Structures are given as C-alpha cells and as structure tokens.
Amino acid sequence: MFIYRKFKIASHERALVFREGEFDSVLTPGTNKLFDPLRKLAITRVNLRDVYFKHENLDVLAREFLVRQNLGDAVRVVELADHERAFVFVDGKFDRILKPGTHVLWVALRKVRVDVVDTREPVYASADLPRIARGNTLEDEATVLDLADHQRGLVWVDGRFRVALRPGLYLLWKGMNDVRVEVVDASGVVFAHRDLSAILQTGSQYVLNQFTIEAGQVGLWFIDGKLGGVLKPGTHAFWTGVGKLKLLQVELRERTLDISGQEIMTNDKVTLRMNALLTYRVTDALKSVTVTEDAAQALYREAQLALRAVVGARELDALLTEKDAVASELEALVKAKAPEFGLEVRSLGIRDIILPGEMKELMNKVTEARKAAEASLINRREETAAMRMQANTARILENQPVLMKLRELEVLEKIAEKSNLTVVLGESGGLNDRVMKLL
C-alpha cells in the first residue's frame, strides 16, 4: 500500500519532482501517478502565470530543463554574460530587464519575447525604447537620452569619438565604458567643432554631410533654395535632415575654352572654318551659378556669335591681312558680355583659319602669280641697272684713254692666268695690235 502516489496538476501548472533532494522530472497537467514506496518524492508546483521561475538551485535546474524533452515550449532558459542584458516583453508589454546570469522563464501561458543586447556597444536604439524607458526599471544600467528635432548627439567612448546621433530616443549603457554625450544644436545647419576631423572619420555619415573645398576653389551652400554662405578652401560639415541642402564648388582658377570648327561666311560670300582659344576665370561665384545654368557654356555661345559678327562684316582678303585687328575686336565684344555671367575674359585669340579646298587652290595660284610678277619685275630692274652702269663705264673710258689702257691691262692679266701669252709693247698702236698668240 501507498506504493504509488497521485498528483493532480492543473492546466496552468507544472510540477518539479525531486527524489531525495535531486531533481527527477517534470509533471505536466493532469493526474500523475508516481511510484514512491519509500515516500522519498517531493514536488514543487510552478504557476505558469508567473513568467519568472525562482529556485535556490536554479542553475542546476536550468541545465536539466535544457535537456528535458517533455517540457516542450513551456520553458525558456536565458543565460546572459557579463556584457549582456535582456529586455523581456510579456503579452506585448515591456516587463523588466534581465541582468547577467541564468534565468528561467515559463512561456507556456504567456506571450514572452526576450531581446538580448550587447552592452559593449554603448548606444542602444529600438522602436520599443519608449516603452522600455517608461517602465522605469533601468536603474543604474543605462541613461536615457532624448534628442529633439533640432538636436544631435555626439557620443564619446573612453575619450574617443564613437558615433553621431540623430533626433530620437537612446539608451547609453553604463559600467562597461566611460560614455560621454555632447548634445549639439543643429538649427544652424553648419557644424563646426574642434575635433571635426575625428568626428567625420567615424560614425557620422548618416548625421553629417562632408564637403571639401580645394585650393583655388570657393564653395556655395544653399538651404531650401536660399544662399546660406560662401565656403573657403578646407573641409566643412553640414547637418542632415534640417532642410533641402545644396552644395556647389566653383573653380576660381584660370580656364580655357577651345572654340573650334565654326563655319562662317565672310562678306564676300566665302565660307571658312575658324578656331579660336578663349581664356577666362570666375570673378563672381554666386552670379556664375545663378544667372545661367552653365556659365562656361554661355560664354562659349557668346564667343560663337561674336565670331560670326566680326568675320561676317569683312571680306576674305581683309580678314587674312587684319588677323590681329579681328582678334582685338572679337576679344572686346566677348569681354563686354562676360561680366553678365560672373566671368572675366583674360584673352581671346584666333588660332587658325581653314579655307575650303578649292579656295586654297585659288589662293595658291594667286600667290604664285603674284610672286612670279614680283620676280619678273625685279629681273627687269636689275637688267636696267646693269645696262645703265655699262653705259656710264663706256663714257668714262671714251673720255679717259689712260684709263682705257689700264682696263686693257686688267683684261690681259685675267687672260694670262689661264693661257701662256707673250705680250709685245711698242711705241705706237694699241695693245690690241701687239698681242701675239703663242699656242
């Protein structure tokens, strides 16, 4: 008799069976008959409506629960390391935070959700955070940080920048690290800080826009379509989410425009192609980006129109002979128009003029004929000068007999250099009568 013992377990209960103080089994709802001839069994009833299980031997029981198959989904064992915490939600409501250690939760009758969090990451954000913060169970575990729409948070961990925070609710874990938060007013759009370089290098890409202006450039920033300011060369940062921000870089260094392949008709109906080179720079950065969509393209169009106006008013010959004057007139026209776009024209020159193939041939023929005529004229002038000199020489020799004799001697000397001659000179007659050829 009394070999078996009966235990009636309600539907909201479980019973832990201990034999001589050692855990033996778990009784499920219903009537359970246990063999106990020596009456060494003891049971501990567990109300499943109470989510959290407490027992002096909880660690041992938790290990037993993990290997038991008959518990099904009735129990959940949560083991938390020193750097972990767990948020427990019961029936959709935040209930409490679990600290490091072993925890056993009965989940058969209640809808239980456990979110395990690593506190080595100092900042925690979640859609459930408003409910957690209202629960007032954080105690010394964390600090609640609530950033308004015009605020941003800069988080420093152990003296090093970690992350920039947008508006919202956050938890800052205590204990693992030295966490410091700097709350900054972001209504000014531009962000300036003594540690700007470190902040931009780490964890700020979603909170700050980085904008770098190189040497020889200027930056313009607009907020909601209005000019916010002008930026000098360097690195600048702007808060995100404060309006429609637009950043522009404007090149201030001297630049060139190659105006090539313009087909233009001269006043005498000759079609040619002209290439020009224009050098300019920006003098008014704001005007260069607001007056026209593309200031350089606008200047290019003005140079095209000026080329057509200047070339179309001249005939081809005048254009070719007055190339410098054409360039000066062209430069004056474009310089007068450039300030409207915030630009300054430094120089404009005609690089080359390209004539059609048939026109080149005609020009070559004209040039050839002109040069031939010039050569013929020069030859005639030289011949006339030579005959005039010979006539003058003859008159001199006719009037000066002695000079004539000297001239004859010079001729004989030149002949003697190339031939063997014997010259016999007498008292009468000229030298012509006394020249005898020996060979």
Q: Does 30 lie in the same domain as 52?
A: no
Asked if residue 1 belongs to a domain, the reply is yes
In this predicted structure, what is the pLDDT of residue 377?
80
Asked if residue 268 belongs to a domain, the reply is yes
Mean pLDDT to the nearest integer, 166-181 = 88
The answer on pLDDT for 67 being more than 70 is: no
Q: How confident is the model at residue 439 (pLDDT cuts 50, 70, 90)?
A: very low
Q: Does 343 lie in the same domain as 275?
A: yes
Backbone CA torsion sign across 266, 272, 276, 282: positive
Q: How confident is the model at residue 410 (pLDDT cuts 50, 70, 90)?
A: confident
What CATH number corresponds to the domain at position 307? 3.30.479.30
Q: How confident is the model at residue 182 (pLDDT cuts 50, 70, 90)?
A: very high
Mean pLDDT to the nearest integer, 201-209 = 85
Q: Does 314 lie in the same domain as 283?
A: yes
Q: Is the pLDDT higher at 83 or at 393? A: 83
Q: How confident is the model at residue 141 (pLDDT cuts 50, 70, 90)?
A: confident
Q: Does 264 lie in the same domain as 337?
A: yes
208-211 long-range Cβ contacts below 8 angstroms, 24+ apart: 208/164, 208/237, 208/238, 208/239, 208/240, 209/237, 209/238, 209/239, 209/240, 209/245, 209/247, 210/235, 210/236, 210/237, 211/235, 211/236, 211/237, 211/238, 211/247
Q: Is the pLDDT higher at 15 or at 342? A: 342
Residue 87: count other Cβ atoms within 10 Å of its Cβ. 23
Asked if residue 273 belongs to a domain, the reply is yes
Mean pLDDT to the nearest integer, 113-141 = 85
Total count of domains within the chain = 4
Q: Is the pLDDT higher at 343 or at 367? A: 343
Q: Does 349 lie in the same domain as 276?
A: yes
Last residue of one domain, picked from the residues 323, 355, 387? 355
The percent of residues above 70 in pLDDT, for the chain, comes to 86
Q: Does 263 lie in the same domain as 345?
A: yes
Q: How confident is the model at residue 434 (pLDDT cuts 50, 70, 90)?
A: very low
Please tell me whether residue 48 adopts helix, strand or coil conformation. Answer: coil
In this predicted structure, what is the pLDDT of residue 420?
64
Q: Does 351 lie in the same domain as 259?
A: yes
Asked if residue 386 belongs to a domain, the reply is no
Backbone CA torsion sign across 392, 397, 399, 400: positive
Asked if residue 305 belongs to a domain, the reply is yes
Q: Is the pLDDT higher at 212 or at 354? A: 212
Q: Is the pLDDT higher at 22 or at 228? A: 228
Q: Which domain holds residue 52?
A: 48-110
Q: Tell me what the pLDDT averaged over the chain comes to.
A: 82
Q: Does 350 lie in the same domain as 266?
A: yes
Q: Which amino acid is at 321?
A: T
In this predicted structure, what is the pLDDT of residue 341?
93
Q: Does 76 lie in the same domain as 38?
A: no
Asked if residue 203 belongs to a domain, the reply is no
Asked if residue 202 belongs to a domain, the reply is no
Mean pLDDT to the nearest integer, 169-191 = 88
Q: Does 421 lie in the same domain as 347?
A: no
The answer on pLDDT for 373 being more than 90 is: no
Q: Does 412 lie in the same domain as 334?
A: no
Q: How confident is the model at residue 288 (pLDDT cuts 50, 70, 90)?
A: very high
218-225 long-range Cβ contacts below 8 angstroms, 24+ apart: 218/249, 218/250, 218/252, 218/285, 219/247, 219/248, 219/249, 219/250, 220/247, 220/248, 220/250, 220/285, 220/286, 220/289, 221/189, 221/190, 221/245, 221/246, 221/247, 221/248, 222/246, 222/247, 222/248, 223/189
What pTM value is reported for the model?
0.65
Mean pLDDT to the nearest integer, 242-260 = 90
In this predicted structure, what is the pLDDT of residue 340?
92
